[in-house]
Amino acid sequence: MNFTLHPARPADAEWLYSVRRATMRGYVEDTFGHWDDDAQRARFHVPAELANMQIIRVENRNAGLLHVEREPAEIFLANIQIEPRFQGHGLGSAVIGSLLAEGRQQRRPVRLTVLKSNPAARALYDRLGFVQSGETLEHVLMIWRPD
């Protein structure tokens, strides 16, 4: 699937929050027992958080968010959230695939965490070659290593 990435700006905060709410609310409630609108919304108004976020666009429409933190030794996929109407069409695989290509080219592993209550995301990461590297009470820690 073809997509483009565009830097997130402060003006995008409410849209980014709406994507997070639509895609993650159920998993957060299952894991932590509640969803705090104010706390979740506030994350998109923190300049340091927004600096690492991009908007995923398909055919000039906002389709999701990508939050990546690049360190010298690794790439951390902090969040990928695809709007429900764009899910199931290969967009998440394509976006993550481009991140894996970057990791392969730079010989850096890609790490992520996934909520244990989100088996669909875990299955996607397994399919893309990530392996479990640890766990916490709420999360599975995963890594992909370049060949």
Task: Tally the domains of the chain.
Answer: 1
Domain encompassing residue 134: 4-144
The alpha carbon of residue 44 and the mean position of all alpha carbons in its chain are separated, in whole angstroms, by 14
Indicate the DSSP class of residue 76: E
Q: How many residues does the chain have?
A: 147
Q: What is the pLDDT of residues 43-100, one digit of tens each?
A: 888 888 888 999 999 999 999 999 999 999 999 999 999 999 999 999 999 999 999 9
Kindly state the tokens that stand for 58: 């398909």
30-53 core/surface letters (b: 16 or more CB in 10 A; e: else): ebeeeeeeeeebebbeeeebbebb
Indicate the DSSP class of residue 57: E
Given this model, what pLDDT does residue 49 score? Answer: 83
Residues 6+ apart with CB under 8 A from 137: none
Q: Is 137 exposed, middle or buried (0-12, 13-18, 19+ CB in 10 A)?
A: exposed
Q: What is the CATH number of the domain that holds 133?
A: 3.40.630.30
Q: What is the pLDDT of residues 3-36, one digit of tens each?
A: 999 999 999 999 999 999 999 999 999 999 999 9
Distances (CA, A) of 51 to 8, 10, 31, 59, 66: 7, 10, 27, 24, 11
